[in-house]
Amino acid sequence: MKSSCFTALSLVAYAVPGVVMAQDGPADHDDSGEAIVVTATRQPLSVERVAGSVIVLDERALESAQGFVGAEDLAVLLPGVEAAVANGTQVAFQIRGIGAVDHQALTPTAAAVYADGVFLATNVQTGALLYDLERVEVLKGPQGTLYGRNASAGALNLISRRPDAEHASYIRLGYGSFDRFDVDAAIGGRVGEGIHARLATTFVSRSPVFENVAGPAEAGGAAEEFGVRLSTLLDRGAASLLLRGHFEQDSGINPMPRNSALSLDRHQIESAGDGIQDSDNFFYGASAEYEMHLGDWDLFSLTAFEGYRQNYGFDFDGTAAPFGMPSLNANLSYARDFAQFSNEVRVSRRFESGSALLGLTAAIEDFGQRYTIWCGDLDRQTLVGSCDYVGAPGRVGPVPASSAPVSTLVTDIEQERVSLAAFTYNEVELIDRLSLTAGLRLTHEVIEGEGQGLHVFRDSVIDFNNRDGLGPARGANRIDTTRVTGNASLSYALEAANLYLALSNGYKSGGFNGEVANNALHYADEGLFAAETVTTLEAGVKGKAWGSVTYALAAFANDYDDPQARIFVEFAIPDGSSIVSNSLSNLDAAVSYGIEAQLGWRPVQGMELDLAGVWNHTSIRQDSAIGGNAELHDGNPLPFAPKFSANARVRYETRLGADSRIALGANANFRSRFYLDPAGLQERSQADVLTLAANASLYLDKSGLEIALWGRNLTNRDYAVSGYGFIGYNTFRSEPRAIGAATSYRF
């Protein structure tokens, strides 16, 4: 689900890794430069006193957002955070260079994503929930000792408006480039004594954004999306129960990638159209959040169900006839079903000289997928394409099941994951001004998977893949892991600043490869990828100067062990040429270190200026051969890890009269060259990118009306948002310049 909910960065804060909540919404931030108060470990704390880092997009930023389209736009607003958009819609975040660039959906991402505290276990769920948000929090560094699931890179928390929000009912209508029409609306308030409810909905319709020079326009990606969320809060003072339910539908068309061998203008693609498939995606979930006082302790419980069904696909090779040979054409489709049940319970208490938190969490996930790849038009009954997929013959075993040509590849996989954890997070004041924070987590995970890889002959005979004669591609396996992770930090309060030193450790579990299964090794230990671990040391200072300036400076170093990465390997096909096969695997190690700086300035009433920059050096350490060549990766930068990234935002608001005001804003984001995979090849990299966005809003306060104009990617940059090797190199592209207008009514 895409939404128009993001705009320029409105608030930059550094806070404890964990649950960070702005207190009382927009009142936490004003032009006077007063200290921002956040809540960490369920206790209010001034931002200057907490150790670690988080960037917050607050309620005011989200309310004034215009024109952005999805979760990937967070990366445009946040330096040090990148988003790889695989398959046109799947978003995997990288923070400080940590995180595999992966397009399969059966493994969690290194940067964990939460929706109202509920962990989203796959990279296809994030975009469905981006509407009626109160704020977005981006936490940097390994996570796990406060809530949710282990994460090696960091965490993003999407927080929707609570039913008790006052004056938060609205309706918004918008129109923009590419015939974009969108509606957002919400209504809520008190419905009885101690009872509040809220209903929010969104709808987006948009024509294709890329120009297809060789076939149907629909290949450029169309959007038609709908979402609804209902929340009910029962508050009895000493106890409260918050119930949420949501449903989203995506029936658009995924955009096609572009093949690097083509000579095309900006925002153009080339597809004959046989890979065009209507998306049939549904996302749904429900949660119950319970809080109560137990004497001196506070109890928190979150029980949730999340699920989805997906059917979508696209032109895989990114060109109408690769190298002038229509027989090299390839299309693919995914059919997925997913269900997740989770429960988390924690108790916390505040003492005179500190606080304590104890928690338990459990989750059960069930994932199923059919992955199909074919040539030309596919007969959905027989699974035979109108031409033969060039990579299929290489999967036939030494004794073919048919004398007919082989046409199509199909891979099925089922995976179940059980995750259990106990965790604690504690703070104590050692001496005056010096505080120690320490957390620990014990995690046990069991992952069971089974699957099969099949090829379909032209006469509809189906047999198991058996590349290299190593046995039929069918099997099952089990991963059983127990890990201990933790964090510790010291913070020292000066008169107008705070110093901190923090050490944290986290991991992301290993798993199965869910796409083309070549032979029996796919489900054996040799075909699995291992867990990755990250240990981070961070030191920083933050504070206030000259009354209207806030600043934060941090240095960090990440020791990255067994980084998960998608490795591309060439293999021969019967005509003597070769194509590229890829799978998720582990590199030996990597390092990431750098400096982050943030500056906020409120020079005059109504003026806000925020600057942020990150210098980040990453390097792969590879001694063993992987993909047949150790030297191919050793010393290369990590994927999606620009050496320098920066963000600048300016906003000015002034009154035109007693009941009207105008706000003008602009946001600029810069990223230096970054690489799309760990091979470190120049042709698989994206050169420097500078993007600009702007908006202007007229508020008629007495009537509750707002009229807004917006523009995004005003530099009209065409850049890669992910890539993969297949019959050349293919990249998914950024969307072109877009402008639009919207009108809102609040009541």
Q: Sign of dihedral through CA atoms 467, 366, 507, 18?
A: positive
Residue 247 neighbours by CB under 8 Å, 6+ apart: 227, 228, 282, 283, 284
C-alpha 64: how far from chain center: 22
Residues above pLDDT 70, as percent of the chain: 88
pLDDT tens, 289-302?
999 999 999 999 99
Q: Tell me which DSSP letter residue 255 carries.
A: P
pLDDT recorded at residue 86: 82
The letter for the amino acid at 19 is V
Amino acid at 13: A
CB-facing half-sphere around the CA of 172: CA atoms within 13 A: 30
Are the C-beta atoms of residues 508 and 563 closer than 8 Å to each other?
A: no
Cβ pair 641, 619 in contact under 8 A: no
Task: State yes or no: pLDDT of 14 exceeds 70.
Answer: no
The more confident residue out of 336 and 124 is: 336
What is the per-residue pLDDT across 606-650, written as a single tens digit (0 to 9) for each?
999 999 999 999 999 998 877 555 677 889 999 999 999 999 989
For 333, other C-beta atoms within 10 Å of its C-beta total 18
Distance CA 158, CA 117 (A): 8
Return the amino acid letter for 570. Answer: E
Is residue 507 within 8 Å of 479, Cβ to Cβ?
Answer: no
Lowest mean pLDDT among 14-18, 396-400, 580-584: 14-18
Q: Are strands 281-294 and 268-269 parallel, antiparallel or unpaired?
A: unpaired
Give the count of beta carbons closer than 10 Å to the beta carbon of residue 509. 22
Question: What pLDDT is recorded for position 307?
Answer: 97
> What letter represents residue 542's amino acid?
K
* 10-24, 194-208, 209-223, 654-668, range with the lowest pLDDT: 10-24
Given a cut of 90, whether residue 546 has pLDDT beyond it is: no
In angstroms, how far is the first alpha carbon of the chain from the final one? 26
Confidence of residue 699 (pLDDT cuts 50, 70, 90): very high
* Closest of 595, 725, 672, 665 to residue 96, by C-alpha: 595
Kindly tell me if the per-residue pLDDT of 337 is higher than 60. Answer: yes
pLDDT score of 21? 33
Q: Is this structure's pTM higher than 0.85?
A: yes
Average pLDDT, stretch 374-389? 94
What pLDDT is attached to residue 648?
93
Say what the pLDDT of residue 87 is: 83
CA distance 690 to 49: 34
- Residue for token digits 């004056």? 167
Residue 570: pLDDT over 80:
no
Q: Which of 210-224, 341-355, 501-515, 579-593 has the lowest mean pLDDT?
A: 579-593
Distance CA 493, CA 500 (A): 9
pLDDT at 398: 92
Q: In this structure, what DSSP letter does residue 76 have?
A: H
Q: What span, in angstroms and rounded, lies between the C-alpha atoms of 373 and 313? A: 10
* pLDDT tens-digit map of 28-78: 334 433 444 444 344 445 556 667 787 777 766 666 556 666 777 777 877
**Confidence band of 6 (pLDDT split at 50, 70, 90):** very low
- In 10 A of CB 461, how many CB atoms? 14
Provide the pLDDT confidence category of residue 325 given band limits of 50, 70 and 90.
confident
Q: Are strands 268-269 and 211-212 parallel, antiparallel or unpaired?
A: parallel
Between 365 and 12, whose confidence is greater?
Answer: 365
Strands (E), 4-49: 21-22, 37-40, 43-46
pLDDT at residue 112 above 90?
no
In this prediction, residue 49 carries a pLDDT of 61
Is the model's pLDDT at 571 over the cut of 70? no
The pLDDT value recorded for residue 468 is: 83
Write down the pLDDT at residue 572: 53
Measured CA to CA, the distance from residue 709 to residue 7 in angstroms comes to 12
Pick from 264, 278, 359: nearest CA to 313: 278
CB 139 within 8 A of CB 17: yes
Please determine, for residue 149, whether its predicted confidence score (pLDDT) is greater than 90: no
pLDDT exceeds cutoff 70 at 327? yes
pLDDT, tens digit, 9 for 90 and up, residues 457-509: 999 999 999 988 889 999 999 999 999 999 999 999 998 899 999 999 999 99
Q: Is the dihedral of CA 150, 560, 531, 439 positive or negative?
A: negative
Burial 431-458 (b: 16+ CB within 10 A, else e): eeeebebbbbbebebebebbbbbbbbbb
- Residue 515 has a pLDDT of 87
Mean pLDDT in residue range 242-264? 93
CB 247 within 8 A of CB 284: yes
Paired tokens of 654: 């002034």
CA 267 to CA 257: how far, in whole Å? Answer: 11
Walk me through the domains of the chain, giving residue ranges and CATH numbers. 21-746 (2.40.170.20)
Tell me what the mean pLDDT of segment 176-195 comes to: 94
CB atoms inside a 10 Å sphere around CB 262: 16
Question: What is the reported pLDDT for 17?
Answer: 31
Cβ–Cβ under 8 Å, residues 346 and 422 = no
Residues 6+ apart with CB under 8 A from 3: 68, 69, 70, 127, 130, 131, 182, 184, 202, 204
pLDDT (mean) for 435-439: 93
Quick one: pLDDT at residue 16?
32
Q: Which two tokens stand for residue 162?
A: 């609570």
Pick 400 or 4 by higher pLDDT: 400
pLDDT in tens, 199-243: 999 999 999 999 999 999 999 999 999 999 999 999 988 899 999
Of the listed ranges 105-119, 383-397, 583-597, the one predicted with least confidence: 105-119
133-140 and 154-160 strand pairing: antiparallel
